[in-house]
Structure 1
Amino acid sequence: MKSTSGILKSALTLLILVALGAGIFIWSGVYNIGADDPHMRATHMLLETLRERSIESRASKLTVPDLSDPAKALQGAGNYNAMCVGCHLAPGMVESELSKGLYPAPPNLSKYPVELAQAFWVIKHGIKASGMPAWGKSMEDAYIWNMAAFLQKLPTLDANQYQAMVASSGGHSHGGGESGRDLEHEVATNSEAAHDDYEGVHSHESGEGDEHNDSDSGHHHDNAAMQAEDSVANAKNAEAHGHDDSSKDQAMTTHTHADGTVESHPVKPEVETDDGHDHKH
């Protein structure tokens, strides 16, 4: 029989080889991490067991509050519709782009209930690498418990009953439900104000809606701008050629450049030369 030390050495060697092999496998990039390529069966079973046992062990330590008041589930209905329905669906709802694209696929919670404490724990803490966010970072526990209460009723509802609960819920105006602020109304109001601001700037720039502008105001502004540009161009040309305003009283000559530009210059006065003779007679 092998000695105890020999067994320990063999086990340690095996662990080192396994760790080395796992490191090479991970570093090689051979594993396809794409969400459209399912895990290997063994990997899937391992992760499923890991997730279920992790949630169960933590949810079992929670104390479930009294959720018998129908108003609690009703409030949770609005928040579920605002925050969860895109992935976890609703009665009569077909698969969404999110529910189709996520892997592992989010469960259709309109088909079966989730145990209260587990529902609360998952909503609050989320699940790593699954697309399930930790809503506890933005929601108080009371509102999360209300959503958990609603999840108990959800599988018993048809499409009309579901819509009726959402429509009468106080939670659907704000994703978190904490403050009672109607963020949907605020967003719509801010968007409308921004649109009005844009329209005001646009109409001012284009001359639309200005009672002081006639129907030709757009052309008037364009012509004025063109005239201003011409004035600047002429001033630059005059400066480049050393001309001043006194040239307008002089005789002018015109010539055309190779690029088609027409330019005018004052005629230079003839300079008399002294040839040694007296021309005054």
Structure 2
Amino acid sequence: IINCKNLDLADEETVKRVTKAEVGYAGLIGLPGDLEIFVDDSLEGLSNFECGANETNIHLVNVNWERDLELPTRFYDLKTAKEGDLHPETQEIYEVYKASEVGNIFPLNTKYSEDFNYKYTNENGEEKYVYMGSYGIGTTRLMGVVVEVFGSKNEIKWPKNIAPYQLHLIGLNLEDSEVQNNAEDVYEHLKKAGIEVLFDDRIETRAGEKFADAELIGCPLRAVVSKKSAGLIELKEVGKDESRLINLDQLIEEAKTFFISAK
């Protein structure tokens, strides 16, 4: 566009020299007449927009093309990098990926410590302004990203260290008092062993519905007590096809071992 090899942001000294203002207040109105201006296509068609006044601490509002500014004969694709563009220094090809922002970092330097006169004394007894930073993480958005990464259309697979429960205990055939008592006994022993367990003790709910709910809840381990298991417990790790019949002591031991690496 302007026949240059690299195009970089102007440094602070250049901005002050050209605009006669501090950084952050540059605008299109009032620039030197011999300055060649190239306007990004994101400004095309805008009305009543805001821009710097080339004067420190002042911005202009309700600016319009043709009334306040001469309408450029052409707008240019300058601001937004697109897939296939080249890195100005390394010449690497720019690639585009979908992403979600789950955290951010803002370097604040001494801006706010100067405003609040917040200082520390260094090893030489000199008072210096504190350098500050802002560090944030979006916990709810992070959980959504985890589901997208580890889940599928019909199933969530929580990583073991952030799962809502460690083990999902499903009771089937609970209308049978013997099976119900056995399931409740397993539940109590798991709790006493320190295992975080979610117990599905709904009697009227069908097995298929219970398993579907378990897939959506996504606990790392799933244990089933039923008439079919004949006093044993069917254990399955979420995401794997195979399951095994084990006794209560084995269940507790395997659950504890499984979660050791998550601590």
What TM-score does the superposition give when structure 2 sets the normalisation length? 0.20
Instruction: Tell which structure's C-alpha radius of gyration is larger.
Output: 1
Higher relative contact order (CA 8 A, sep 6+): 1
Could you say which structure has the higher helix fraction?
1
Could you say which structure has the higher strand fraction?
2
What TM-score does the superposition give when structure 1 sets the normalisation length? 0.19
